[in-house]
Amino acid sequence: EPEVTQTPSHQVTQMGQEVILRCVPISNHLYFYWYRQILGQKVEFLVSFYNNEISEKSEIFDDQFSVERPDGSNFTLKIRSTKLEDSAMYFCASILRETDTQYFGPGTRLTVL
Amino acid sequence: AQTVTQSQPEMSVQEAETVTLSCTYDTSENNYYLFWYKQPPSRQMILVIRQEAYKQQNATENRFSVNFQKAAKSFSLKISDSQLGDTAMYFCAFMTTGNQFYFGTGTSLTVIP
């Protein structure tokens, strides 16, 4: 069964550094998402992406964040200047059609020191 | 505003017994989708079951079934014949037709041998 993949599985960075989290959605999917989950808390929506542009974003997704689909297969989340509170698990998800179930990747654990 | 409430932070069940996890939600939309996701210690989000709001029949997937009460905005998950591998965090989620997901805070389920 096709699956969403994410790399790296764990990223450790210093506060103020830039990080790029990578996702490879399922190949024929058209809608892409990033979520984050701070340890012990619920999964929070960050951003959705369709047709090479952001379709929706939450209040969490401020100017520090950006997304890109650079090459037709990867879907990246960039955090420009990481803060301690960015430490979380980041999940990527994708779907083919708007009404489909979202398939989640295994997540990237980001630790900001 | 769309909200999802899981009022049981932790639950436990004896192996082979049945357990029900509760979920309520709030929305003004008429067309939406409801999901239960399982998050084992590996942290990957795995779809357990999905329900379309326009369907009156409760969804069933092997040992997992839901009790969907649209008027009451309730969507509980029943796990029959609980197995040790069911130990995980369970998230109730709600998706609008704009395909943004909203998650509850989760219920940590422990299956006791």
Each residue's pLDDT tens digit, A37-48: 998 788 898 999
Residues 6 or more apart whose CB falls under 8 angstroms from that of B42 comprise A106
Q: Is the pLDDT of residue A98 over 70?
A: no
Higher confidence at residue A37 or residue B20? B20
Chain A residue numbers touching B46 (CB-CB < 8 A): 104
A13 shares contact with chain B (CB less than 8 Å)? no
**What's the pLDDT band for B99 if we cut at 50, 70, 90?**
low
Select from A35, A56, A101 the Cβ nearest to the Cβ of B50. A101
Question: What is the nearest CA distance from B16 to chain A, expressed in angstroms?
Answer: 28
From B23, B25, B32, B22, select the one nearest B3 (Cα to Cα). Answer: B25
Select from B95, B98, B103 the Cβ nearest to the Cβ of A43. B103
A48 shares contact with chain B (CB less than 8 Å)? yes
CA gap A67, A23 in Å, rounded: 11
Select from A42, A98, A101 the Cβ nearest to the Cβ of B104. A42
What is the average per-residue pLDDT within B48-63?
92
Chain-chain contact of A42 with B95 (C-beta, under 8 angstroms): no
Chain B residue numbers touching A109 (CB-CB < 8 A): 43
What single-letter DSSP state applies at residue A102? P
What is the average per-residue pLDDT within B98-106?
81
Average pLDDT, chain A: 91
pLDDT at B42: 72
CA gap B113, B94 in Å, rounded: 32
Residue A99, SS3 per DSSP = coil
Chain-chain contact of B103 with A102 (C-beta, under 8 angstroms): no
Q: What percentage of chain B exceeds 90 in pLDDT? A: 69
Q: Is the pLDDT of residue B1 over 90?
A: no
Question: What is the nearest CA distance from B45 to chain A, expressed in angstroms?
Answer: 6
pLDDT at A23: 96
Interface size A-B, in CB pairs within 8 Å, comes to: 51
Buried b vs exposed e over B1-29: b needs ≥16 C-beta within 10 Å?
ebebebebeebebeeeeebebbbbbebee
Across A104-113, B4-13, B67-76, B88-97, least confident range: B88-97
B102 shares contact with chain A (CB less than 8 Å)? yes
Task: Express each pLDDT in A53-94 by its tens digit.
Answer: 998 888 899 999 999 998 878 999 999 999 999 999 999 999
**What's the pLDDT band for B98 if we cut at 50, 70, 90?**
low
Nearest residue on chain A to B104, alpha-carbon basis: A42
